[in-house]
Amino acid sequence: MIGPQQAGEVLHTPSPVPFLHAFSFYLAALLLLMPGCQWFSEPAMHKPDPHSYSNPHETRVDSLHLTLKVDFDTQTLSGTADWFPVAGHAPSLILDTYGLDIHSVEGDGRALQFRLGAHDALLGQALEISLHQPTERVRIHYSTRKGARALQWLAASQTEGGQHPYLFTQSQSILARTWIPCMDSPGQRFRYTAEVDVPPGLLALMSAENPTETRADGRYTFRMDQPVPAYLMALAVGKLEFRPLGERTGVYAEPVMLDRAVYEFTDMEQMLATTESLYGPYVWGRYDVLVLPPSFPFGGMENPRLTFATPTIITGDRSLVSLIAHELAHSWSGNLVTNATWDDFWLNEGFTVYVEMRIMEALYGPDYAAMLSAIAYADVSEEVKSLTAGGQERKTRLAAHTRGEDPDDGVGPIAYDKGYHFLLLIEKTIGRVRWDAFLKSYFQKNAFKSMHTEGFLSRLDSLLSAEEERRIWVQEWVYGTGLPVNCPPPLSSRFAAVDSTLNSWRNGDSEALPTNLDAWSTHEWVYFLRRLDGQDSIGATELDRRYRITGTPNAEIGCVWYQWVIRFAPPYANQRTFTDALEAYMTRIGRRKFIMPIYKALKETGQADRALSIYEQARPNYHSVASHSVDALLGWKVD
Ligand SMILES: [Zn+2]
């Protein structure tokens, strides 16, 4: 998934904040001094997942058949989930559920006893089913309830076209259980088929082989032959059309935005070929993108075969397609080799940011990729600073401990950008030829498997010499806090040029500024705006008159601009055009990365009431993943 850079977090001075934890450094040094030391042995076979009740070590299920009816009136799904236990003699099958109504359970046509455990606010309820021996098929009759967290139901008025309702799911991290009774652990994979009934005139899509035409009867069947973990289960239903981009790639979107999406994503087929040339064959068949309504809480979600993407990357200048590179990269890192638990999340995201950067470099050149890399550096530096200042230094470790916590809270620059910089350091230390060969074989040898941090480290240990280990400080990077001082520093000549423009402007030379908004890429604008601080507040009017940033359709630029004005140019922030544009932005967009920092800026400048009044209007349009975060930030009382 992307949403990594809380890019939103204002970064006025992205200066390096090296950080070294004395004890872990000592430990690392000690370990590295031990000759031929193996960091870790292979992971234990059944290291338990702290976010799942399921019992895969006793009863394994490796395929699912779903039959679901999608009811927009009641905002529920109802039907059956058939699980097929692999031969074993365990007395029970335990699945994860959250807020599901379980009507009955059968085993090969005979009623089975079941019970739901106590409800936990984070994990939901265990569904424990007593099995006959043997049982080939367990059928669960169930329905979701209104408010199921993975499901976002949109009224017609909340879509771009405005004529038809829309439904989409977001299962990562632990929300699959809110719409399917399942072993909701990233370490457990299964194949699936599905039959889905939707209102006539709408198209249904899943993370599977997908239809390209709307069926008059609203009945769709799906098949996913490659095994996937539950967090990659996905469903979307809406007035959608398909357009191919290349032999294996295409776009689904609401008809009104299809042309713009096709223009924006035109390089997708080439992106796919580029990634294959780096890391081996793409094994999922097709790679299509579904453009969702603006309330989608993340940038993108790497649902296999069908990435779900926010429309906020459609800027008209193809400058945010790195998000597509990121989601495509997950077809190797994440979907093929998957983090075994959410404590190992950096294995999914750090690798994916690394692969994303390599794709962007291959397609658009080193200068372009260097900007993205510098943004990642700034994001992680800022995150380390802010977590450390807030007494949450432990959250700056790559190997996380998230028992009892919502894994969605780990979606941030540590897993993504610290992970990326660690891998970048390895590349720079041992050279691309060896590193690329290692990665390619890592993806191939571990395809369709899950990986613990320790499993990766033991593989890395076989790659590195003792001297290289010493130079990289692997233990410090993975288990230590902060950003080690040997982190590769950012080097972007294009950002250096932006710095000199900013200096000239600060010295009174307005001519130094670009002639129009299109003269710079989105990244250069974001970088420029993030560098502004209180001393520049006098220039708010001039910048807005020149570039019309207030109300910009470019959500990325808008996000940084609104924060800066709120924090540093209060008179401007109170002007009617600004307040109207801000409210429109916050009620239209539900992408957490964009809305959170703006609510934070309002709160931190003594405008919590204003934040709450905007939120009151906007909240119905947000997915629960976003509203959960904003609820906590603003102290919103849920009824
Ligand atoms: Zn991702």
Closest-CA residue to 124 (of 93, 152, 145): 145
* CATH class of domain segment(s) 493-634: mainly alpha
Can you give the length of the chain in residues? 639
Query: How many angstroms is it from 429 CA to the middle of ligand 1?
Result: 25
Query: How many angstroms is it from 514 CA to the middle of ligand 1?
Result: 33
d(CA 326, CA 301): 10
Query: How many angstroms is it from 353 CA to the middle of ligand 1?
Result: 7
Q: Which pLDDT tens digit goes with each residue over 522-541?
A: 999 999 999 999 999 999 99
Query: How many angstroms is it from 120 CA to the middle of ligand 1?
Result: 27
% of the chain beyond a pLDDT of 70 = 93
In this structure, what DSSP letter does residue 465 have?
-
pLDDT at 550: 97
d(CA 207, CA 231): 11
Q: What is the CA radius of gyration of the chain?
A: 24
d(CA 78, CA 47): 33
d(CA 109, CA 573): 65
State whether residue 262 is helix, strand or coil. helix
Q: Which pLDDT tens digit goes with each residue over 8-62?
A: 332 333 233 333 333 343 334 433 333 333 333 344 445 789 999 999 999 999 9
Structure token digits, residue 634: 């603003």
Query: How many angstroms is it from 562 CA to the middle of ligand 1?
Result: 26
The CATH number corresponding to 22-47+325-479 among 1.10.10.60, 1.10.390.10, 3.30.499.10, 3.40.50.720 equals: 1.10.390.10
Query: How many angstroms is it from 329 CA to the middle of ligand 1?
Result: 8
d(CA 597, CA 629): 11
Q: Which backbone phi and psi does 47 adopt, to 5 degrees?
A: -60, 120
In this structure, what DSSP letter does residue 406 have?
-
Query: How many angstroms is it from 302 CA to the middle of ligand 1?
Result: 7
pLDDT at 47: 76
Cis peptide before 134 (omega within 30 of 0): yes
Query: How many angstroms is it from 348 CA to the middle of ligand 1?
Result: 7
Query: How many angstroms is it from 285 CA to the middle of ligand 1?
Result: 20
Longest dimension (CA), the chain: 82
Strand partners for 451: 339
Average pLDDT of the residues in 401-409: 92
What residue ranges of the chain are covered by domains with CATH 1.10.390.10? 22-47+325-479
Structure token digits, residue 609: 């009431």
State whether residue 123 is helix, strand or coil. coil
Whether 94 shows a pLDDT value over 50: the answer reads yes
Token pair 């976003």 is found at 626
d(CA 265, CA 289): 9
Local confidence band at 370 (pLDDT 50, 70, 90 cut-offs): very high
Query: How many angstroms is it from 326 CA to the middle of ligand 1?
Result: 6
- Torsion over CA: 330, 633, 380, 23 (sign): negative
d(CA 347, CA 574): 44
- Indicate the average pLDDT of the chain: 92
Contacts of 256 (CB under 8 A, 6+ apart): 160, 161
Closest-CA residue to 49 (of 228, 172, 187, 229): 187
What residue ranges of the chain are covered by domains with CATH 1.25.40.320? 493-634
Query: How many angstroms is it from 337 CA to the middle of ligand 1?
Result: 13
Q: 254-279: b or e for each residue (b if 16 or more CB lie within 10 Å)?
A: beebbebbbebbebbbebbebbeeeb
d(CA 188, CA 294): 31
Which regions of 158-305 does DSSP assign to beta strands (E)?
166-169, 189-197, 203-206, 219-229, 235-238, 241-244, 249-253, 287-291, 300-301
pLDDT at 417: 98
CB of 297 within 8 A of CB of 408? no
Token pair 């969605």 is found at 408
pLDDT at 46: 57
Query: How many angstroms is it from 113 CA to the middle of ligand 1?
Result: 40
d(CA 349, CA 172): 13
d(CA 526, CA 530): 6
Strand partners for 219: 197
Query: How many angstroms is it from 320 CA to the middle of ligand 1?
Result: 15
Q: Which pLDDT tens digit goes with each residue over 485-513?
A: 999 999 999 999 999 999 999 999 999 99
Vertex 116: Cα angle to 110 and 117 (nearest 5): 145
Closest-CA residue to 430 (of 397, 478, 462, 475): 462
pLDDT at 409: 86
Burial of residue 78 (CB within 10 Å: 0-12, 13-18, 19+) is: middle
Query: How many angstroms is it from 2 CA to the middle of ligand 1?
Result: 4
Q: Which pLDDT tens digit goes with each residue over 461-488?
A: 999 999 999 999 999 999 999 999 999 9
Query: How many angstroms is it from 414 CA to the middle of ligand 1?
Result: 12
d(CA 398, CA 395): 8
pLDDT at 89: 78
Local confidence band at 3 (pLDDT 50, 70, 90 cut-offs): low
Query: How many angstroms is it from 592 CA to the middle of ligand 1?
Result: 14
Q: Which pLDDT tens digit goes with each residue over 179-201?
A: 999 999 999 999 999 999 999 99
d(CA 549, CA 639): 37
pLDDT at 81: 98
Question: For residue 456, which amino acid is it?
Answer: F
Whether 404 shows a pLDDT value over 80: the answer reads yes
Closest-CA residue to 419 (of 364, 474, 471): 474
Distances (CA, A) of 326 to 45, 61, 332, 508, 570: 30, 30, 11, 40, 36
Query: How many angstroms is it from 584 CA to the middle of ligand 1?
Result: 28
Whether 391 shows a pLDDT value over 60: the answer reads yes
Q: Which pLDDT tens digit goes with each residue over 603-632?
A: 999 999 999 999 999 999 898 889 999 999
Query: How many angstroms is it from 195 CA to the middle of ligand 1?
Result: 28
- Note the pTM of the prediction, 2 decimals: 0.90
Q: 313-344: b or e for each residue (b if 16 or more CB lie within 10 Å)?
A: bbbeebbbbbbbbbbbbbbbbbbbbbbbbbbb
State whether residue 487 is helix, strand or coil. coil
Burial of residue 433 (CB within 10 Å: 0-12, 13-18, 19+) is: exposed
Average pLDDT of the residues in 343-347: 97
Active site residues: 327, 416
d(CA 4, CA 322): 12
d(CA 602, CA 618): 15
